[in-house]
Structures are given as structure tokens and as C-alpha cells.
Chain A
Amino acid sequence: MALVDISDLTIGFGAEATAPPVVDGVDLSIGKGEIVALVGESGSGKSMTALSIVGLLPERGRVRSGRILFGGKDLLTIGEAALRSVRGARIGMIFQEPMTSLNPVLTIGEQLVEALIVHEKLSKAESRNRAIAMLERTGIDNAERRLRQYPHEFSGGMRQRVMIAMMMALKPALLIADEPTTALDVTIQAQILDLLREMVRDLDTSLLLITHDMGVVAEMADRVVVMRDGKVVERGDCEGVFAAPQADYTRKLLAAVPTLDDPVRMTTTTSFGPEVLRLEDVSRSFGGGGFFSRQAPLKAVDGVTLTVREGETLALVGESGSGKSTLGRLAMRLEKPDGGRVVVAGEDITRLSGRGLRRVRRAIQMIFQDPYASLDPRFSIGRTIAEPMIIEGGASRSEVRERVGALLERAGLSAAMAGRMPHELSGGQRQRVAIARALAVSPRIIVADEPTSALDVSVQAKILDLMIALQEAEALAYLFITHDLAVVRRIAHRVAVMRKGRIVELGAAADVLERPVHPYTRSLIAAAPVPDPARRGERHHGQPEAEPQSPDMAGEWCAVGDEHWILA
């Protein structure tokens, strides 16, 4: 008999008559020791399904019908007290955001032992020993000392290890992991996935893994359940679903996933136009030097030199904290460099300010990661796009309206959308609006900071297609900032790999992605999950989280190929 047997589960928010269900007649079973991946895009109902198992639906969410059998008992009817004794003890759960999922004012130790004391009635000392053992098991050194530390003293990956230790300490029969690695860097993700797999196998725990990432599914799952709009559209064993997807939606989903096996973007021209952006030895530090602080300043960007030519995409790749976003902001002169020069369209903007800077900024525009936060919620779409034109002046009302319509159409939206407000649009549509706004002043180059990271894969693919089409039509240049190597493959002509404020490898996309030379580039590529279960285990990343590294990464540029350099 299956450990968990969910049948005909329907969940809705608010009144049944008016609000359509968010989960609609879902059947799902999880066997003992099995890893089941629940896959879907945002709004598919996958998280609601998982939260309903432990009775932690958001406030207005209600289970309208169905059964959730766990070990033969229906969790929906056993009552709050009985459910609480199951929660944590028999079913553990870890969440997406390791930064906010731990209480900032309690020590890691306090948070680790409390469930042990409540459920297993262990003494303080016993539970403490168990907590230390679990922390060590999840690969945290100095566990005894770290028990006394607070969450803010741990990195994102370390916190997720703490979460895993916390939930596995009670040896639950089922662990629910809701996007456990989505907020983590790719090298950390690989380590956390390995740890999760190892832990559930060792303790014979079943794992319900909720994710949107087909690569993660392929790495982990025994079985796959695909959800869309609250319904299950496909289920089957992992190899089968990847090799021969039955539902149209699954096929589309798999086709939209960019992979490291996709061909590198073909260049139609062998040479690009003139330089539109040149960064010469730019640096930027933060913090330090304050009246009260004795900390050394953090070098976010440390002597970077780059050029981007007309019609070219230079992808800037790196993990969080590598300085890639700061570099993008320096190119825009949203940030003032401490040293070096920024040249946009032939003009040195390093020392410009006020009117002069605003004039040059027309040549360089930016698209941001979060399409929900980067549009003014009180501006209509038309007003958002028209704003740069109005500031520029010289166009009449009807001309502006006409140009807004034309821009919306170029971004793949209809001109009629100008009257809508941002909250009426989906994430993908908003990102198209952001692109239309960037195009409004006819820039030569667009700095795109993780423009597709907040989007579902199918939407991501369309936005990338749009950006490529626009580039080919008007020789736009892109400085494309991302952490996702598969996206890089789709869009980049050249790639710069950044780490700790410096560029460690720079070259043509084909060279860097297929013949990486720098060890860091290699480890990045090795850590990326491959959306193909047949190739599971091919990842060969062995390094621990805190690998030894030269203190200041001093190095010289060496050419390792044609137009291909590394810092060594």
C-alpha cells in the first residue's frame, strides 16, 4: 500500500460558487521510499497540493473535497491535534526561501531541538546531541559551535542544510520539499540535491519534490506528476515521461527547457558593428571607510574590462555575489565607478552627470529581473512606455500614442494594451512591457539583468525569442546578465564568466561553454542539472562548498584560444 494516497483533492480560495478551484480533482500516491516530483509552472496548484497534506494552506484556502490518506488515516478528518502530531514527526517539510524560513531571533540550536522535545519528549541534552549529529550529517562543520549561532550567520546553502537537518532529525516517513533549491546558486543546488537524495535513501524516507525545473526532476525523481491549472495532465515514471511524454503540455514544457545540449547560438554575421559599450578597468567597492566601521571595503567589481559591439550579445555569467549586477549598473552609470572608464556609444560617461548623462543614457537602457516590481503600479502601460518620450519632448500627443502602439506591437503585445494597468498583466506580458519601454528611446544597447529568471520556462523561451528577433532586426547590442548557463547558450555570442568581482574567463560562447578552461567555469557547467534522466549521475562536481581559493585571486590574463582568455 502506498504511504500517501491522495484522491480527488479539490482546493479553492473563497466561495465555491464564484472562485474556481486552484487544485481540481488531483489524485496522487507516493510509495514508501519513493521520490515523486510534482512539476508545473506558477499557478499550477503544485504547492497548494503539497501544503494541504500537512494542513498548512494559506488562510483563505479550503479543501473542498477529496481524501488524503497517510498510513491509512485521512489527514483531512483526523483533527488539528492529531494532525499536529503527524506534522514534523511523520511528515517534514522544507521550503524555497532558506533566507526567511528560519526564525531570525532564535539560535539554530533552539530551532533544531524544539521539534525533538515536543515530539519525542527527549531531554535537552539528548536532543542537543541529536541535533549536533544531524548537522554533521548534513555537512556542517563545527556543529557544536554553530548551534549557538543565528540564521543570519549562515549562507543560503548552509541554511537549507540546517532546514534539512531539522526536518530529517525526526526521521519522518515523508519529506515534502517545495522548490528547495530554486533560490540557490547552481553549484550549491547540486550539493543540496545530492544531500537530499542521500538522506532520504538512508532513512528510507519518501520525498515529494515540488519544482518547476525539469533539470532537477531528471536528476532526482523516480516518478513524475505534471500539473497544469490545478489538474494532473501527466504521470509516469521519470524515464518514460522524459523519453515519450504523452500530454501536449508536457511536450511543450520539455521543449521550452533550455539545455546545455542545445546548439550554441549561431551567428549570422562573422563580424559585428562598432563598439557601443566599453568598460575599461572599472572598479566599485561598497562599505568600509565609515566613521565607525573598521571593515575593509568589499570589492564588488574589481578592474573589469569589456566591450560590446553593435548587434552582439555578451552574456555576463556568475553566481550571487559575483558582482555581475553591479557591473550592469556601472555600465548604466546607475552606480559611479571608483576607478576606470565607462564609454557608451563613443562617449566617455564616467564623469558625466545631470543633463549630459541623461542624453547619453538614451543610448543605453535596462531591463530588470522582477517584472512585478519594475513597473509603476499606478501608471498605465501606455504611460509607462510613453514616459521616456515625453521627457525627451518634441512629440505631439497623437504621435506619442502612435509610437506607444507600435512599440507594444514590436514587443509582441497589442496596441490596445496601452490602457491596461500592470496588475492586469501576467509576468511575461509585463516583461514585454519593460522591453517596449527600453526600446522607446531607440537605444543602441540594452543591459538585461536576469530578465527571464522570474518567469516560467515556457514564457522564458518566448521572451528570449523576442529579444533575439529584435536584435537581428535592428542590430541591438545586449549585455545579458544571468546565472543560467542554458539561457546563455540560447542568446549569447560571447560569454564573460564573473567571480568575486573579476572576470575569470572570456570568449566566444562556443569556446567557453564547450571547451571551458578555467576551473570555475568548468565547475559551473558540471553543476548544472541536465534535463535527461538517462544521464543522471553524470554530473561530476566534487568540490565542497568552501573550496580553498587563492586569497585575492591575483592573476594574469592568458590567451587560451582565438579570442578566448582566462585569468590564471
Chain B
Amino acid sequence: MLRFLGQRAAMGLLTIFVTTIAVTLLIHLVPGDPVEIMYAQSQGTTPEQLEAMRSSLGLDQPIPVQYVHFLGRLLQGDLGVTIRGQQPVAQLLMQRLPNTLALAALAMVIATVIGMPLGFLAAYKRGTLIDGVLMVTAIAGISIPHFWLGLLLLFWLAVDLGILPVAGSGPLNIVLPALTLGLSNAAIVARMTRSAMIDVMSQDFIRTAHAKGLPKSKVLRRHVLRAGLVPVVTVMGLQFAFMMGGAIVVENIFAWNGIGRLALEAIFQRDYPVIQGFILVFATTVVVVMLALDAVYALLDPRIRRS
């Protein structure tokens, strides 16, 4: 198992490493001169100011040199400073990251708590009306975009019923964005769980369990659930990555102060150091979560745990 996790950790490090290269090249992938675009809307910038900005961003150096510098600073935890305001980017991101993680984690919990039992129920009642209703609902849930579901919930729960705040950063404020993000992912989790469980229910060892005369509830709990969770957990990691992406949209709807909102502002302002930092932090978070889920996966599947 340690070897398995070691392999996964190495793959994760490699992913982050590749991301650092991509992030350095990013500025140069945008057509035109990045600094000129940056100042396109401000009037009366002198060529000297542009040059000063270029050299402060290190853009006057050859790309490999830029990369080495970037990597060197990164290893010291330095992601540069924002162009507007000269704040350290790393500090800014770390301030906002907990908010996004809390949002994504809560949404993940909501998605799991709602999606898994419903998927399991649908699998158990396969082919019945309950299954049909659940799966049609799930497809609807997957099809509704975040921003639309978010607005609906906002109108209903915050404006009409007034039980939740519309926007802001209090502890209750997380509920609406998490619900928005969680519900649409619950639909995906439900479908995944259903197909994984149906797959397990048709396996030979379930027939063996029935042949032993175990009560149905015991067959479901002991044999189906545990074996069926293995494939579900593997897909959860991807799910979390999507969830982080969805968080960017949802944070902006509900004015939730996460890194997604920060990133969007930075993109509009062409604040390259922030964008770079955001991408790196985002990628690292996804890699870490995937690694944690690999550990869970290894614990659930003895074929990996004991290898």
C-alpha cells in the first residue's frame, strides 16, 4: 500500500511541476505584449513605465531564466506581489483559500449525503417508479447550470422566505453557495453510485451471499455497499476537481470571499501574478485531495492495501 501511495504522490508532484511550467508560459500564450494589454485602458502611460513593469515582472528576461526565477521564488513560498496594490500574492491566496475549501468541502458533504443514499436506493429499486423518478431528477440536476440553480435558490430561500442571507461572509452565508454546488453534484454522485451498485449486485459473490441465506439487508450492507464504494470513491476525486471549478462561478453569484472570486477579479484586471498563483494553488489542492482519496480507495480495497 505504501508503494501504491508513493507512486500516486510522485505522480502528484509531477503534475504540480508541469503546472509550474504551464503557469510560466501562460503570460506568453496571450496574444500581444502582456504589459501593453495590461495598460491598454489606462491613459498616458509612458514607455518607461511599461519597461519598468516588464522588468519588475521579469518579462525582459529569456523564458528559461524567468522560469528558474519563478521556481526559485516559489520554493521559498513567494508568489510575487499583486500589480495593483503590491500585496504579496501568496498571503492573499492563503487568506481566501480556507473559504473556498470550506465551500467545496461542505458541498462535497451535501453531494455525498444526498447523492449516495439516493443512488443506492435507485439501484436497489432498479426498474421501478422510484428509480425512474430519482434518475429523471438526477438528469435534471446535472443539466441545470450552477448560476441558474443558484439564482433560483437565492430567490426562494433568501428573498421569498428570508431564512438565509443573500450574500456576504458570515457563517450562515456559506449555506446557499454550498447548497447550490452540492445539489448539482449530488445528482452526479447519485448516478455514479447507482451504476456502481448495480454492477456489484450482478456479481457472482452477491449470488453466493444470497445462497448463504443472508437476509437481504445484510447482503446489501455488508457485500454490496462495501464493494460498490470502491469505484465510487475513485471518481470522487475528479468530482472534487469539478467542484473547485464550479466554486468559481458560485462564489461570484453569492459574493463569497474565496479564491475563485479573487481569481475572476484578477483575470479582469490582468493581474498576472495572482492568476499564476491561483492556478498553482488550485492544482495543488486538487492533487492533495486526489491523493487523500487514493488513500481511502486503498483502505477500501484489500487488493491494494495488502500489496
Contacts and interface: CB of A to CB of B under 8 A. Distances in A.
Interface stretch (B116-124, B248-256, B295-303): B295-303
A119 B205 contact: no
A241 interface: no
Contact of A100 (B204, B301, B306): B204
Contact of A102 (B205, B213, B214): B205
Interface stretch (B141-149, B222-230, B265-273): B222-230
Interface string B60-92: 000000000000000000000000000000000
A119 B306 CA distance: 31
B203 interface: yes
A217 B226 CA distance: 38
Interface residues on B, range: 20 to 34
Contacts of B303: 104, 150, 152
B218 A114 contact: yes
Interface string B26-51: 00000000000000000000000000
Interface string B268-307: 0000000000000000000000000000000011110010
Given A106-B222, A106-B223, A54 B302 contact: no
B208 A102 contact: yes
Nearest to B207: A56
Interface in A119-157: 119, 150, 152-153
Given A105-B302, A292-B3, A115 B227 contact: no
Contact of A56 (B210, B218, B226, B301): B210
B222 A118 contact: no
A115 B209 CA distance: 9
B204 A87 contact: no
B221 to A, nearest CB: 11
Nearest to A152: B303
Contact of B214 (A88, A100, A163): A88
B215 interface: yes
Contacts of B207: 56, 95, 101
A88 B306 contact: no
Contacts of B203: 100
Interface in B1-25: 3, 6-7
A100 B205 contact: yes
A108 B204 CA distance: 16
Given A106-B226, A150-B302, A292-B6, A114 B212 contact: yes
Nearest to B127: A59
A222 interface: no
Interface residues of A, number: 33
Given A88-B213, A150-B303, A104 B205 contact: yes
Given A103-B205, A103-B223, A56 B211 contact: yes
A540 to B, nearest CB: 33
A299 interface: no
A86 B213 CA distance: 7
A63 B302 CA distance: 39
Interface in A325-359: none
Contacts of B227: 103-105
A446 interface: no
A27 interface: no
A150 B306 contact: yes
Contacts of B301: 104-105
Interface string B169-201: 000000000000000000000000000000000
Contacts of B213: 84-89, 115, 118-119
Interface in A67-103: 84-89, 92-93, 95, 97, 100-103
A93 B226 CA distance: 23
Contacts of B7: 292
Given A103-B205, A105-B227, A118-B218, A93 B211 contact: yes
A109 B213 CA distance: 17
Contact of B212 (A87, A100, A104, A153): A87
13 contacts: A88-B211, A103-B205, A104-B205, A104-B301, A105-B227, A105-B230, A106-B222, A110-B222, A114-B212, A115-B213, A150-B306, A292-B3, A293-B3
Interface of B: 3, 6-7, 203-205, 207-215, 218, 222-223, 226-227, 230, 300-303, 306
Given A100-B203, A153-B306, 13 more contacts: A84-B215, A86-B213, A92-B211, A97-B204, A101-B207, A101-B208, A102-B205, A103-B205, A103-B208, A105-B227, A105-B300, A107-B302, A150-B302
Q: Give 6 nearest A-B pairs by CB, closest first.
A: A88-B213, A87-B213, A88-B212, A115-B212, A100-B204, A150-B302
